[in-house]
Structure 1
Amino acid sequence: MNKLIQAILTQLKAGQDVEFVTVLDSNGPTPRGAGAHMLINASGYLCGTIGGGKIEESSKQVALEALQAHKSTIEQFKLVPSDLGMMCGGNSQVLFTFLDHQDGLTLQVFEALQQALTAHHAVWLQQVYEDESVTLGVAGTAVLGQKIETSYLTQKPHLLQEKGSATATFVEPISHASRVFIFGAGHLAQAIVPVLKRLDFYTQVYDDRVPLLTTERFPDADELHEFDLDASFELTDVDYVLLMTRSHELDYQLQAKLLQTPALFIGGIGSKHKHRVHRVRLLKAGFTEAEVDRVQMPVGLAIDAESPAEIAISIAAEMIQVRAGLD
C-alpha cells in the first residue's frame, strides 16, 4: 500500500489526475477480494493489482474512460467463461475513484494516509460513491473529510450498500497498529522478518546478544532492541509474539510473562514435547487451561517445513490466517 499511496501523491503533485481502483466486494473464487487496489493515469497502468487476467485488463479500460470523463463509477464483473474468459466463477464489484489533482482535500487525505503508514499508526480510508463522484474521509490519528462511523474502524474492510442502490460506502484499514514481537535474533528470525515485511507486518526483534542486532543482519526489521527479561512489554490485543530464543528456559519465562498481556497471538518454536513440558509448568504456576491454550507451539501451519526459510513460510501462513479471522 505504501508504494501505491506514494504513486498517488507523486501524480497529484505533478498535476496529474488518476483513477484509484478498488475492489469493493466479491463472491465465489475471484482473483482478489475487497480492498485490492490498482492505480491508472492517462498513460495507463501505474501500480497495484486487482487480480490480473481479463478482469484487470477490463478494469484498466474502464479506468481510462472514467479518467478521460473526470468521473467515478462502479462496475460489476462476472467471472465466467462466457463473460471475461476466466475459468474461476463469482462476481466482483469494482469502484473507480477519480482523484483530481486540483482538489486540496484529496491531497491532504493521501498525505495523511502516508504519514500514518510511516509512523505505524492505525488509519482508515472511507470512499462514498454517489452520482459518479466519490467523497473521501480519513479516521485515525488524523481526521479528514467525511466522518467515519466508529463501528467501521476494524481490521477488515466494510461495504455499506443497500440492494439495488446506486450509492455505496466503503471503509478499509490502510495502516494497522499491530506489531510482531520476535524474541530471538537467530537464523529463523533472519528468515521470517523479510517475509513478514512483505506481508505488511511491523516487526520488532529482541535479543540479549547485541552483536546480532544489526541492520546488516536485519535490513527489513522495523525495530531492533536489546532484550531484558525484567523490562515491561506493553502489548495490545492486536499484537503478535514469536518466541524463538536460544534457550528453552528463556522461552518459558517469556511465555509466563507474555501470557499476562492481551497479545492477540503467542507462538513458539519447538517440539510438542517442549510444549507439553512448558504447559505443565505454566499450569503449576497458576495459569488456567484457557490461558495456557493461548500459546501456539509448535508455531506454524503443518506443511512439513524443515529449513529456516520453510519454517518462516509456515509461521507467516498461520499469522495470515489469524489476521484474516479478525472481526
Structure 2
Amino acid sequence: MSLDLPALREAVARHGAVVRILVLSVAGSVPRDAGTSMIVWKDGEEGTIGGGELENQAVREARAMLGQPARLVLRSVPLGPALGQCCGGSVTLVLERIDATSLPGSLPFSRPLPGTTSPRPTADLRPGAPPLLRDGWLIEAAPEPGRPLWVWGAGHVGRAIVDVLAPWPGVAITWIDLGPDRFPGSAPPGVTLLPAAEPPALVRYAPRDADHLIVTRSHELDLQLCHALLLHGFASLGLIGSATKYARFRSRLTALGHTPAQIARIACPIGEPALGKHPQAIAVGVAAALIKSATSGQRQERDAIG
C-alpha cells in the first residue's frame, strides 16, 4: 500500500492540519503490513493501522502534534513488552504532521528525518512498493493502479458490491447503469459513474484485463452485455442469477455464435451460495473471490521476481 495523495489533500483541505500515521516497517506477527496508514485530525480519523492499543496510543500522540509546527517522528514499538498485545511482533511507525505548506506535490515523496544532513538519495521505487528509509530519508512510492472492475447495474446488489469493494485499494471501480437517477445520491470516493442509455455500447471502452460483474434489473440487458463482453475480452465475468438462468443464457449465447469454452468463462451465480442471497451476502462473497484472486496473482508475481 502506498500514499493516497488525493485522500491526503482532501483531508488537509477539510481540516487544515492533519497527522498521518504510517507503518514504516514490521517484524513478526503484527496487525497490519508496512505501508498501511491512517489520517488523524482534531475530532476524527480515517483509516486504521490495526486498532488495539497500538492505534490508541498513536492517535493520542498524533492529536498532540496537531498544534505544533510541521514535523516527523519515528517510533519503534515492541507490541508485547510495550503494549501488552498478544501479536508479539514489533512495528516502526512514522507520525507526520502535514498542512497545506508541507503537502507532497507528487509521488514518489521523499523527506528527511529530523537531524538528517545527507543529500537526497536516488530511489527507483516501483508503484505500490512499501515505504523505504534510506540514508536518513523517508521515501514513499506512487500507488499501484487498482485492478479495473466494471459493475453493470446499480440496484440493491450493485450498490452492495460497490459499498463493500470501494474502500479496498486493490480495485478501480467503474459503475454503469441506464441513467443518473439509477445511482445513489453520492457514490463512494474514487468510483467512476457512467450513466448510459445503451450500456453495451460502453463495452468497447473497457480494458481487456478488467473484471466485470453484471447485476442489472433486466435479463435481456444481461444477455446483451454477456454477448458484447465475450466478443470484447475480459479478465473475469460474473453474472447474477440462478442455474436456470445460466442454462438459458448458455443456449442463447451458443445461438449467437459463442463456443462452450467461451461461455464457460462466465461465472453464474456470483458470490458464495452458502452465504445466502441477501445483497450484502452476495457482495461479501464477490469481494472475497476478487481479493483472493488479486492476492494470489501478487504472490505469483513476487515468486517469479524472487
Confirm or deny a common fold (TM above 0.5): yes
Q: How far off its partner does 1:33 sit?
A: 2.8
Q: Cα gap change, 1:286/1:238 in structure 2, threshold over 3 Å: closer, same or farther?
A: closer
**Matched residue, 1:20:** 20
Secondary structure of the structure 2 residue equivalent to 1:152: coil
Q: How far off its partner does 1:23 sit?
A: 1.8
**Matched residue, 2:269:** 298
Paired AA for residue 20 in structure 1: R
**Matched residue, 2:157:** 188
| Structure 2 residues not aligned, in runs of 5+ | 188-192, 299-306
**Matched residue, 1:83:** 82
Secondary structure of the structure 2 residue equivalent to 1:30: coil
Structure 2 CA distance, aligned partners of 1:220 and 1:10? 18
Alignment of 1:1-327 (within 5 A): 4-12=8-16, 16=17, 18-26=18-26, 29-40=29-40, 46-60=45-59, 63=62, 68=68, 70-80=70-80, 82-99=81-98, 101-103=100-102, 106=103, 108-109=105-106, 125-128=107-110, 130-132=112-114, 149=124, 152-153=126-127, 156-160=128-132, 167-173=137-143, 176=145, 179-199=148-168, 202-207=173-178, 214=181, 218-221=184-187, 222-230=193-201, 232-237=203-208, 239-246=210-217, 248=219, 250-261=221-232, 263-272=234-243, 274-275=245-246, 278=249, 285=257, 287=259, 289=261, 294-325=265-296, 327=298
Paired AA for residue 90 in structure 2: N
Structure 2 CA distance, aligned partners of 1:146 and 1:292? 52
Q: Cα gap change, 1:274/1:24 in structure 2, threshold over 3 Å: closer, same or farther?
A: farther
Paired residues of 1:236 and 1:261 also in contact (CA < 8 A): no
Give per-residue Cα distances to partners, 1:133-152, cap 9 Å, x unaligned: 89xxxxxxxxxx99984x71
Paired residues of 2:25 and 2:34 also in contact (CA < 8 A): yes
Q: How far off its partner does 1:235 sit?
A: 1.0
Secondary structure of the structure 2 residue equivalent to 1:87: coil
Structure 2 CA distance, aligned partners of 1:223 and 1:133? 50
Structure 1 CA distance, aligned partners of 2:212 and 2:283? 14
Give per-residue Cα distances to partners, 1:193-234, cap 9 Å, x unaligned: 443445465342224xx6xx515x522443332234355431
RMSD: 4.1
Q: How far off its partner does 1:55 sit?
A: 0.9
Paired residues of 1:234 and 1:261 also in contact (CA < 8 A): no
Paired residues of 2:154 and 2:175 also in contact (CA < 8 A): no
Paired AA for residue 318 in structure 1: A
Paired AA for residue 21 in structure 2: V
Q: How far off its partner does 1:253 sit?
A: 3.8
- Of 254-263 and 59-68, the range deviating more from structure 2: 59-68
Paired residues of 1:300 and 1:318 also in contact (CA < 8 A): yes
**Matched residue, 1:141:** none
Q: Aligned residue pairs: how many? A: 282
Paired residues of 1:196 and 1:203 also in contact (CA < 8 A): no
Q: Cα gap change, 1:228/1:269 in structure 2, threshold over 3 Å: closer, same or farther?
A: closer
Give per-residue Cα distances to partners, 1:85-140, cap 9 Å, x unaligned: 1123333332233436545xx3645xxxxxxxxxxxxxxx4333544389xxxxxx
Q: Cα gap change, 1:237/1:229 in structure 2, threshold over 3 Å: closer, same or farther?
A: closer
Paired AA for residue 141 in structure 2: V
| Structure 1 residues not aligned, in runs of 5+ | 110-124, 135-144
Q: How far off its partner does 1:39 sit?
A: 3.1
Q: How far off its partner does 1:254 sit?
A: 2.2
Task: Normalising by structure 2, report the TM-score.
Answer: 0.69
Paired residues of 1:241 and 1:266 also in contact (CA < 8 A): yes
Q: Cα gap change, 1:65/1:316 in structure 2, threshold over 3 Å: closer, same or farther?
A: same
Q: How far off its partner does 1:191 sit?
A: 3.6
Paired residues of 2:243 and 2:269 also in contact (CA < 8 A): yes
Q: How far off its partner does 1:267 sit?
A: 1.4
